[in-house]
Amino acid sequence: MSASQARFSGVSRLLHWVMAVAILAMLFIGIGMVASVSERYEVLVAVHRPLGIAILILVVIRLANRLLNPAPALPATMPSVMRLAATASHILLYALMFVLPLVGWGMLSAARYPIVLAGGLQLPPILPHDIALYAWLRPLHTDLAYLLFATFLAHLGAALFHGLIRHDGVLGSMASWHRTIAPSVRDGKP
């Protein structure tokens, strides 16, 4: 198959894996905190806000990096339906990574909660104090988070499908830390 399947740049891989951990943590923290009334709630909220802003900053860096270091081409052997699915799901992932923190920041602004990152460090509101706006943004934040988790599952499933079944080097292009891609991947043999 794709003997020449190129890898993502080192910076791209670093950003991907740092953000993968951050976003997964964020999804579990988010869904866990709204289901908690124990002391855990405060701890999780205190992590959720700054981590969300960190993800927002990282996704901006990542978009810039994507323009500087374009993703390697998908293997020529990939059917066009799979290519379309790959492109669409990546656009969706990027959009959600960017929009979810902004909706979070916006909904806290509309509710006039102070947006405390740590200690005395606060972010300014980005929307007016408007409870109707909050009523719209708050459920949107949860719905988009569910969508992001579902997209993550599809992404994980596709990555494993490439790695375990198609052996086309797509998984290795992001998941391999070796200096060169393993021969089995390169040769497309199981």
Partner 1 sequence: MRGGTFVKLGAIGAVLVGAAALFGLTAGWFSPGRMTQSRMVADFRDASGSQPGFRLNHAKGVCFTGTFQSNGQAVPLSKAAVFEVGSVPVIGRISLAGGMPFQADKPATVRSMALRLMPMDGQEWRTANVNLPVFVVNSARGFYDFTRATAPDPATGKPYPTQMSAFLAAHPETVKAMALIKLAPTSSGFADATYAGLDAFRFVNAAGESVPVRWSLVPLQPVVAESATQSASADKNYLFDALIAEARQHLLQWRLLVAVGEPGDPTNDATLPWPGDRRQVDAGTLTVDHLSSEATGRCADVNYDPMVLPSGIEASDDPLLSARSSVYARSFTLRAEDRMAKTPSAITPRDVQGGDSR
For partner 1, the binding residues (CB under 8 A) are 27-28, 31-42, 45, 111-114, 119-120, 122, 129, 131-132, 134-135, 138-139, 149, 153, 156-157, 160-161, 164-165, 190
Q: What is the DSSP letter of 164?
A: I
Is residue 72 within 8 Å of residue 6, measured between CB atoms? yes
Of residues 120 and 179, the one with the C-beta less far from partner 1: 120
Q: To the nearest 5 percent, what fractions of the chain are helix, strand and coil?
A: 70, 5, 25
- Output the smallest distance, CB 171 to partner 1, in A: 12
Q: How far apart are the first and last CA of the chain?
A: 11
Of residues 94 and 161, the one with the C-beta less far from partner 1: 161
Instruction: Print burial letters for 23-56: b (CB count within 10 Å at least 16), e (below 16).
Output: beebbebbeebeeeeeeeeeebeeebbebbbbbb
Q: Where are the beta strands (DSSP E) in the chain?
A: 115-118, 121-123
- Output the smallest distance, CB 116 to partner 1, in A: 8
- Output the smallest distance, CB 82 to partner 1, in A: 15
Of residues 12 and 96, the one with the C-beta less far from partner 1: 96
Of residues 57 and 131, the one with the C-beta less far from partner 1: 131
Of residues 82 and 111, the one with the C-beta less far from partner 1: 111
In whole angstroms, give the CA distance from residue 83 to residue 89.
Answer: 10
What are the tokens at 123? 């972010």
- Output the smallest distance, CB 187 to partner 1, in A: 17
- Output the smallest distance, CB 63 to partner 1, in A: 26
